[in-house]
Amino acid sequence: MTGIKDVAERAGLSVATVSRALSGKGNVSAASRERARAAAAELGFVASYHASSLASGRTHNVGLMVPSVHRWFYSAVIEGASAALLEAGYDLTLYNIGEDPQRRHSVLNDFLLRKRVDAVIAVSLELNQDEIGQLLAVHRPIVGIGGPLPGAATIRIDDFAIAEQATHHLITLGHSKIAHMTADEVYDQDFRLPGTRRGGFEKAMNDAGYPVRPEWLVSADFTIEGAYATARQFLASIRERPTAVFAASDEMAIGIIAAARDFGLRVPEDLSVIGIDGHNLGKLFGLTTIDQDAQGQGALAVQTLLTAVSQREDMAASDTRHPTKLVVRTSTAVPRRDS
């Protein structure tokens, strides 16, 4: 049976170099990598990752936990993380937690402790100290995306600050009659995202001396369809219409734009709309947004994890703020003079 030593002899390289070249790990020149792969192909050699795992104690697999695979933010994070893992020669095991507490318990207390993954990425999940501690106890580095995790590394954006920034953008255009679409209470659990973004909105309004009108605070479900239905009901029932709306997500902002068009309202002439996310549909709708680079957050989480795994070090607790960017498009403008 052909072994890695045979490949090394055929390629004229050391066994260690061939091992790194075929596994995709470590620094290997492009020429050496090609020679190793060519020799392996000629001899019909396929690297045994099972044997490699037994020898190194690594699975070359990262577990990624998300609350849902259907929401844009989570799928974008998965896309960024999976691309970075593929580039590094790692596999990805996806755990779709959903809203079932038992499923979450099973993943954290069973699947992730079976030593089938080298590290864990938790997206928008507020793990407690015991849950994190049992992962660290079996030397599984963990990175959280979305909020602080006690004793673990975290990558997140400043949701309060960017909500304040989005609202301030409308205020600087001359808007004072600004509504806010937040999310239902069920989405205010892990890391309390809707409440945090509402807080940023209210601070910007208060700092400008503008009232936050209760009838202009509405809730939806972070989806285009849900926001569309809510916005239609809102626009049909209010006596006085705002000149602008800050939505807590891009999908809800898109739903608002669609509803406004149903009522014959022009965006931005009659109603300015801004969201948060950097959704790939934003450009199609001309949506002004705060781009949080969800794919970049996933890729950075992978980079952070693999650095710790490769150095065989315990990961230090950290709190990394990922940069965001205001992207101004055609959905926001100065209010009409008669508004």
Half-sphere exposure of 6 (CA within 13 A, CB side): 11
Q: What percent of the chain clears pLDDT 70, i.e. is strictly above it?
A: 91
Residue 286 CB coordination number (10 Å): 14
Distance between CA 1 and CA 330 in Å, rounded?
Answer: 65
Q: What is the dihedral of CA 109, 115, 121, 125, to 10 degrees?
A: 0
Q: What is the mean pLDDT of residues 96-113?
A: 80
Same fold, 4-47 and 59-157+294-322: no
pLDDT one-digit tens code per residue, 150-183: 888 999 999 999 999 999 999 999 999 999 999 8
Q: Which positions ≥6 away from 273 have C-beta within 8 Å?
A: 244, 245, 247, 253, 256, 257, 260, 267, 287, 288, 331, 332
pLDDT single digits (tens) 285-322: 999 999 999 999 999 999 998 887 776 666 778 899 99
Q: In this structure, which amino acid lies at residue 77?
A: V
In one-letter notation, the amino acid at residue 97 is I
- Nearest one of 248, 303, 319 to 279, comparing CA atoms: 248
Query: What is the rounded average pLDDT for all residues in the chain?
Result: 88
* 3 against 171, higher pLDDT: 171
Q: 18 vs 2, 34, 154, 178, CA distance in Å? A: 14, 10, 35, 62
Helix count and strand count (H, E) for the chain: 12, 12
Task: List the structure tokens of 258.
Answer: 């669609």
- 330's tokens: 């055609």
Q: With both helix axes pointing from N to C terminus, report the angle between 72-88 and 294-311 in degrees, rounded to the nearest 10.
A: 40
Contact between 106 and 114 under an 8 Å Cβ cutoff? The reply is no
What is the arithmetic mean of pLDDT over 255-260?
98
Residues in the chain: 339
* pLDDT grade for 66, boundaries at 50, 70 and 90: very high
CA distance 117 to 243: 51
Residue located via tokens 């406004």: 260
CATH homologous superfamily for 59-157+294-322?
Response regulator (3.40.50.2300)
CATH number of the domain located at residue range(s) 4-47 in this protein: 1.10.260.40
- Distance from C-alpha of 286 to C-alpha of 43, rounded to nearest angstrom: 55
pLDDT of the residue at 298? 97
Structure token digits, residue 200: 């940023």
The domain segmentation of the chain, as residue ranges, is: 4-47, 59-157+294-322, 159-291
Q: Which two tokens stand for residue 171?
A: 């205020």
Q: Based on C-alpha coordinates, what's the Rg of the chain?
A: 25
Q: Which of 40-49, 114-123, 164-173, 276-285 has the lowest mean pLDDT?
A: 40-49
Report d(CA 298, CA 334) in Å as an integer.
36
Question: Does the structure show a pLDDT above 50 at 51?
Answer: no
Q: Which CATH architecture has domain 159-291?
A: 3-Layer(aba) Sandwich (3.40)
At residue 48, does pLDDT exceed 70? no
Rounded (10°) CA dihedral 157, 161, 166, 171: -170
Closest alpha carbon to 36 in 5, 81, 63, 61: 5
Beta bridge partners of 318: 153
SS3 label, residue 253: helix
Helices (DSSP H) in 24-158: which residue ranges? 30-43, 49-56, 72-88, 101-109, 129-137
Q: Quick one: average pLDDT of 106-113?
A: 78
pTM for this prediction: 0.81
Give every CB contact of residue 136 below 8 A, 6+ residues apart in sequence.
142, 151, 152, 314
Q: Which two tokens stand for residue 47?
A: 């690297």
